[in-house]
Amino acid sequence: MTAIVLGTRPEIIKMSPVIRECERRHLNYFILHTGQHYSYEMDKVFFEELELPQPRFNLDVGSGTHAEQTGKIMIGVEKVLRKEKPDVVLVQGDTNTVLAGALAAVKLYIKVGHVEAGLRSFDRRMPEEINRLLVDHISDYLFAPTEKAKQNLLREGVDENKIFVTGNTVVDAVYQNLEVAKRKVNVLKDLGLKPRGYFLVTAHRQENVDVKEKLKGILKDLELIFQEFFLPYISNSSENSKKA
């Protein structure tokens, strides 16, 4: 039996192809949601819109410091794993859920598979970088998205027999969920947008948004991108509309 441990919006999206494959093959598995992300907009809506089965377990850990959150998740995951006794635990990415889930599993002598292994920013000020490093070095199966990620792992002394270059599940998620989106939504129409007439930016990493000068640099770059790429397109579209 396989336990899929997830807890945040990106994990739900990136693990959706794995969940679907488990469903397609009728595998014995269950989803354990830690509740690291817990609002409807960051959690439940993705299970609904991506047409995924609901988690069997939800720990509802909520927010807290890194230590508080990681500790709560470890305690909750351990209780579920002791009861269900899966053969392997799958985690994805670099969150506190990933670290806590992997630690709880290895301490119960349950094998761990790390999806998206070997990614590195080489910046240990990032909490996510610490999580990646630790999980990669305690996992039994490391599913690296690229050859470069594999090389990162080899340089750190990870046994090559544990590493599998699989590609990134986010690519599968894009293609699969694009079909779902075409059936269910028309976001451009809903928001009054035109193709190539907008761009979407997310900026949430603390090393970007908590450093004033760096945030100013990001905003300046966005302004340049808008002026160079989008204003000419919008102007051309307006001129063509007038001529028509």
Residue-averaged pLDDT of the chain:
89
Q: What is the pLDDT of residue 122?
A: 93
Could you tell me the CA-to-CA distances from 93 to 6, 44, 76, 211 in Å, in that order? 9, 19, 19, 24
**Averaged pLDDT for residues 2-28:** 95
Q: Which of 37, 66, 137, 204 is catalytic?
A: 204
Domain with CATH 3.40.50.2000 in the chain: 2-184
- Contact assessment for residue 89 and residue 6, using Cβ atoms and an 8 Å cutoff: no
**Averaged pLDDT for residues 58-63:** 88
pLDDT interval class at 72 (50, 70, 90)? very high
CA–chain centroid gap for 22, Å, is 18
Is 204 catalytic? The answer is: yes
Class of domain 2-184: alpha beta
Say which residue, 138 or 226, is predicted with more confidence.
138
Task: For residue range 47-56, list pLDDT tens digits in order.
Answer: 888 889 999 9
For 180, what's the count of Cα atoms within 13 Å in the CB-facing half-sphere? 17
Among 27-36, 163-172, 208-217, whose mean pLDDT is lowest?
208-217
For 6, what's the count of Cα atoms within 13 Å in the CB-facing half-sphere? 26
Q: Which residues contact 120 (CB under 8 A, 6 or more apart)?
A: 129, 132, 149, 152
**Nearest in space to 187 (alpha carbons), one of 173, 170, 200, 203:** 200
**Mapped to the 3 state alphabet, what secondary structure does the chain carry?**
CEEEEECCHHHHHHHHHHHHHHHHCCCCEEEEECCCCCCHHHCHHHHHHCCCCCCCEECCCCCCCHHHHHHHHHHHHHHHHHHHCCCEEEEECCCHHHHHHHHHHHHCCCEEEEECCCCCCCCCCCHHHHHHHHHHHHCCEEEECCHHHHHHHHHCCCCHHHEEECCCHHHHHHHHHHHHHHHHCCHHHHHCCCCCCCCCCCCCCHHHHCCHHHHHHHHHHHHHHHHHHHHHHHHHHHHHHHHC
Percent of the chain with pLDDT over 70: 92
d(CA 116, CA 214): 27
